[in-house]
Structure 1
């Protein structure tokens, strides 16, 4: 099996930010607004005269991502509406440099990423609602698509990868993937090439040049590599509410606790988590988006060591389905879900819980300690049979998922 180092390096990033940003951000009705609200072309394209992000949008966005614990950001350089945030160099004038802002927003994004040690990734749509050749002359459209992606590959120095989306719109067509991916490799030999398989085909393997499978808004699963010629990573993308792009009337937010649980669950299967935000038209985030990311970042700072390089240990916790172990070298990391907070019965719900994790371990344990405060955790070990005696949170604390470091 082919195992590429850059794919393994991608897995060690663990946590990234997805950013859906474009003309639809001005409308505030979600990234599919043009199609689903049947907005006429002329009316929608006039939004380019209003789309003018504030000068420091990229710096603020990257700072927020870094504070959340993200190591990379995937930006929608062109979404299905066909509008590009980058200079299309004459392919058309339906891009940010020819709009109200008169700037290459992808350049601003990559500059901000590199200034703050964040790896830039580029999302690029495969389908196109605006480009006539997509409907009338598909082979000609593929030339336009490749020319667009080539600009991204050669004009912005080294990038982390290209994230495609939309092949599901024409499943029976020949997308000439060999040519597209070969062109990317000629400019960016170590870029991750990812092609989203959508909601209906999560975790599906594809072309040999693809480097990761996707689990769009779905729990990752272990990958079966039997007979597969190349090792690939996996990534789960998730949204904070019900839209990828900014929707001002979307109040259906998930909780920060749910996002923390999902991040931990991704690492259980060795999968990265790509958590989405949809900036408003000026490039700023809704206060709730920034606040939620800040809370996730607090959790990451407690347990960062556990969510980057450790890999699934392949050891079952026999008495708790959610809890799991990761391993790196002589260390195991025990992720503990649903630990309650213990306090006076008049102020806390003192639920009964099983304060132990039972499993078989081939190594001899030297010590166990909580990663967030260094306090030792009691344990017993009889041969390979191990019981870790976890405890409730004290009043004033609840970290959602707590991690104990086991030293062998």
Structure 2
């Protein structure tokens, strides 16, 4: 522990402020491009909160004191956890990366931390490091691994002054926030030195300390020293991408921008009011039902059609889709999720060419669908349209050919300075997930 602390101290001294004017390395730029090409990932929210079957915010929602919440790990014994099954499920779904909670807002570490014993190895009867097993299996199957790590911590007494959440949990009314930040950076050092190459760090919880100033939404009550933390990460693994779910414009040192339960440019949740779209790689995350963590009462399962169409819309908005599952306390993933992911994988096997490696196409999102593009090809994704003819705005470059992607039947094209009209051999079938027209320019 002392050696690790000294390592961290030297790294912090040498890198403080280094992210001001941040210029990504060549490895980082390449990782950004690969991330954009991947398009589809699996989000996993899993922790001791799954025992209470009410989502990952249960400690805050039920106002469970720290002393009582600390009793949960003794009952957490996920003997049905199977890293190979998890990674295989993601791979079969067509996913290229996994983002899993290393520490959520409850402060409990899902790996073998040496800076604290509040973790799965030291406090549970399971005694195994699930992140180590997952990291090994991801490498074996060629899946990238990202870690979600919470800025916010309802357990650590040095997370003080408290923000907008985690009140009345029996913590002392004192603490050293800088000491907490050193603790957080030490845990990040552990994650980036003991688990092999890490695709990215997915931060969440910065918003807990926002002051609520509408004129300056990037202002917080405390200095998070993001430059120091981001510099530490990039020093330890230059290709590791940093994203922060803070719902404001990206800060220097961040490598991708995420949107929670919203497509870029939309604000249906209210989270994205201050999230202007940057030029960084983009990602949107969504749940398979209504909850992130396991919730036994949540039966609002989204259909395969809804989730495939969201994936397509995300690609049309030039973003990745990070789709969440909340495993059960014993380590199994709900069969409803497994079934839907398998069906999504079947769709991706047939149509992945129109998603992987693409960027948002020349036709901006419409009520009927979106477009994606790769090389000299444009893919028009018709999600909600029942007529044989579809009018598109004017397009740069001459359309050389057009055909239905599914069966290669030709599509008639009328192109002029005013726009493009596609006439399909048959109208899109009612209830179809996606009728794709491939245009070659």
Q: Please indicate the TM-score interval, normalised by the length of the shorter structure.
A: 0.7 to 0.9
Tell me the equivalent position of 2:397.
363
- Map of 2:381 onto structure 1: 335
Structure 1 match to 2:148: 123
Matched, 1:239 2:287: yes
Alpha carbons of 1:38 and 1:159: their partners in 2 closer, same or farther (altered >3 Å)? same
Gaps spanning 5+ residues in structure 2: where?
1-20, 161-174, 211-220, 267-275
Q: TM-score, normalised by structure 1?
A: 0.87
Go from structure 1 to structure 2 and tell me whether the alpha carbon gap of 1:316 and 1:153 turns closer, same or farther (over 3 Å shift): closer
Q: Does residue 293 in structure 1 map to residue 328 in structure 2?
A: no
The 8 Å contact of residues 299 and 399 in structure 1, kept in 2 or not, is answered as: no
Change (3 A) 1:384 1:308: farther
SS of the residue corresponding to residue 148 of structure 1 reads helix
Q: In the alignment, what sits opposite 1:372?
A: 406
Q: Distance in 1 between matches of 2:222 and 2:63?
A: 26
CA distance, structure 2, for counterparts of residue 61 and residue 384 of structure 1? 50
Match of 2:354 in 1: 306
Secondary structure of the residue aligned to 1:162 is strand
Query: CA offsets per residue over residues 85-114 of structure 1, 9 Å max, x none?
Result: 11112x121111112111111101111111
Distance 1:243 1:100, change over 3 A: same
Distance 2:223 2:67 in 1: 31
* C-alpha distance in 1 between matches for 2:235 and 2:178: 21
For residue 295 of structure 1, report the CA deviation from its aligned partner: 2.2
Match of 1:142 among 181, 184, 197: 181
Distance 1:355 1:387 in 2: 7
Partners of 1:17 and 1:274 within 8 A in 2: yes
What value does the CA root-mean-square deviation take over the aligned residues? 2.3
Distance 2:223 2:43 in 1: 28
Alignment partners' CA distance in 2, 1:161 and 1:210: 10
Q: CA deviation at 1:231?
A: 4.1
> How far has the Cα of 1:65 moved from its partner?
1.1
Any conservation in 2 of the 1:68–1:300 contact (CA below 8 Å)?
A: yes
Q: TM-score, normalised by structure 2?
A: 0.81
User: Residue in 2 aligned with 1:346?
Assistant: none
Q: Does 1:176 align with 2:249?
A: no
Match of 1:208 in 2: 252
Aligned to 2:308: 260
- Residues 316 and 359 in structure 1, CA contact (< 8 A), matched pair in contact too: no
Corresponding residue of 1:344? none
1:69 equivalent to 2:68? Answer: no
When residues 305 and 384 of structure 1 are mapped into structure 2, their CA distance, relative to the original with a 3 A threshold, is farther
Q: Residue 81 of structure 2 contacts residue 330 of structure 2 at CA under 8 Å; is this kept in 1? A: no
SS in 2 for 1:83: coil
> Hey, what's the Cα distance between the residues in 2 that align with 1:86 and 1:356?
52
The answer (yes or no) to whether the contact 1:316–1:324 under 8 Å persists in 2 is: yes
Q: Retained in 1: the 8 A contact 2:362–2:395?
A: no
1:14–1:271 CA contact under 8 A, matched in 2: yes
* Alpha-carbon distance, 1:164 to partner: 0.5
In the TM superposition, 1:81-160 aligns within 5 A as 81-89=106-114, 91-98=115-122, 99-135=124-160, 136-160=175-199
- Select which of 175, 191, 208 maps to 2:240: 191
Q: Secondary structure at the match of 2:43?
A: strand
Q: Deviations over 1:133-175 (max 9, x none)?
A: 1121101100101001110011111110000100111122100
Counterpart in the other structure of 2:427:
392
Distance 1:312 1:206 in 2: 20
Q: Deviations over 1:270-308 (max 9, x none)?
A: 111111100001111111111122222222222211112
